[in-house]
Amino acid sequence: MSLKDYEILSKLGEGAYSIVLKVRRISDNKIYALKKVRLSRLKEKEKRNALNEVRILASIHHKNIISYKEAFYDDESQSLCLVMEYADAGDLFQKIQFYQKKGTYMSERFIWGLIIQMARGIKALHELNIVHRDLKSANVFLTTDGKIKIGDMNVSKVAKGCLEHTQTGTPYYASPEVWKDVPYDFRSDLWSFGCVIYEAICLKPPFRAEDMQSLFKKVTKGEYIPIPRTFSQDLHQIISHLLQINPSNRLTCNQILQLPCIQSYSIDIIGEETENLLLKTINFPTKISKVIENLPRPNFETTIRANNKSLVLPQMGTKSTVIRDISVPPLKTHQKRENSEKSLDFLKEYRKIILKQNYGALQLPKVRYPFQNIASGKCINGKAQKEFTIVPRIKSEKISRKPSTNRTIAIGYKPSDN
């Protein structure tokens, strides 16, 4: 695993200590996003954040979260490289900018799809006690087939039964408790969730100001302009229930997904239940070789051909569902194959029992009968043997059909006059 395994196509983004590239993996010719983090320039806390992003991404297997592919260390650039799923339609912020220039609002159907899929992704994080802490439109990624995926877990935090107390995230989307520098929990993400949905509807954030002090006052008071009346009252209600000053009054993702208005829109959006397991913390030791040993295993998918049909199988033993062509019969799992072999063995034994009961012993004892060579008049092994008379084989009478009649007669047989 190294940068030599990838062909760099373009630059997707760049930060103070990292750069995100669009790359093509040479072995499978697929497109991925590769994030290079220059560890030599980072402080200890920033190094831990970089490894924490690898850990969280590798822990979650959900269709609404950018998926982890692999991580490795590049000696030449002294960078930690994180390979991720590539979202081929950009991010939500780019889409908002496009509609700003266009001068029109997005469709309400798209907004509902955004709410449902973001709620499912955030729910998957919160079920593992992960607080994203930097939900914003630039971290919500889109695909051409209509999927919404949450990414950029660099400052995400695993809450260990207590409230967080670190100021982080983007000011426009930060919750009142973060602004006030008081302890917060996963409900801070719900406020940011509301800000993202509001921005997608109105094409601008709900809280804006000329300076930080004015922005602080607006956020802590919860003052924002209502969304346009062209949108449904249900959207008004969801925004108002997410942008609540009191965290306990905010709707959770599970409550949002159970709303009747959500159910009518979620028919076309198929959800999937996944089993996620949070990986252990990756500590940053003094030797970089130790970091490489602790990195999660690759999680690529391998495409094979079977009966002229494409099968996509995980490269490693993940818990993700096998993706396959619907016209191809599913491959047998190990357990099914083992049960099948056991059933075949049982049928063989059962057949033997039936044959023994009906036809006697299956395997007769091996008896070596003495044989005398009649032609030479000698006995085998020097012992007198019982003589056997060799009778020439009697050929069966041939059956012929008389051309003039339709009756079958045997040779030498005369039909009676009767």
35-65 pLDDT per residue, tens: 998 887 788 878 877 787 788 888 888 999 9
Is residue 411 classed as helix, strand or coil in its secondary structure?
coil
Q: Where are the beta strands (DSSP E) in 132-195?
A: 140-142, 148-150, 157-158
Determine what percent of the chain is predicted with pLDDT higher than 90: 43
Identify the residue with better confidence: 377 or 154: 154
Do both 81 and 104 map to the same domain?
no
| Domain coverage including residue 14 | 3-86+285-293
Instruction: Find the DSSP H helices in 322-372.
Output: 334-359
Is 35 annotated to bind ligand?
yes
Domain presence at residue 334: no
Do both 170 and 63 map to the same domain?
no
Give me 375's structure tokens: 């032609």
pLDDT digits (tens, 9 = 90+) for 68-101: 999 998 888 888 899 999 999 999 999 999 999 9
pLDDT of residue 164: 52
pLDDT of residue 44: 81
Do both 170 and 30 map to the same domain?
no
Domain presence at residue 212: yes
Mean pLDDT value of segment 389-407:
53
pLDDT value at 196 more than 80:
yes
Do both 117 and 82 map to the same domain?
no
pLDDT digits (tens, 9 = 90+) for 122-135: 999 999 888 998 99
Domain presence at residue 180: yes
Domain presence at residue 49: yes
pLDDT of residue 379: 54
Residue 242 dihedral angles phi and psi, to the nearest 5°:
-90, -35
pTM above 0.85, yes or no: no
Give the CATH number for residue 18: 3.30.200.20
Do both 94 and 172 map to the same domain?
yes
Mean pLDDT value of segment 273-302:
59
Do both 133 and 169 map to the same domain?
yes
pLDDT of residue 161: 47
Domain presence at residue 335: no
Is residue 357 classed as helix, strand or coil in its secondary structure?
helix
Do both 177 and 254 map to the same domain?
yes
Domain presence at residue 109: yes
Do both 153 and 254 map to the same domain?
yes
Domain presence at residue 188: yes
Last residue of a domain, one of 293, 328, 359: 293
Give the CATH number for residue 245: 1.10.510.10
Kindly list the catalytic residues. Answer: 134
The region of weakest confidence among 106-115, 202-211, 398-407 is 398-407
Domain presence at residue 407: no
Give me 93's structure tokens: 């912020």
Mean pLDDT value of segment 181-195:
93
Torsion angle (degrees, nearest 10) of CA 163, 169, 172, 173: -50
Mean pLDDT value of segment 262-273:
63
Do both 150 and 237 map to the same domain?
yes
Do both 194 and 173 map to the same domain?
yes
Confidence of residue 331 (pLDDT cuts 50, 70, 90): very low
Report the range out of 211-225, 282-296, 310-324, 349-363 with the highest average pLDDT.
Answer: 211-225
Give the total number of structural domains in the chain: 2
Mean pLDDT value of segment 305-316:
46
Do both 7 and 96 map to the same domain?
no
CB atoms inside a 10 Å sphere around CB 124: 22
Do both 100 and 234 map to the same domain?
yes
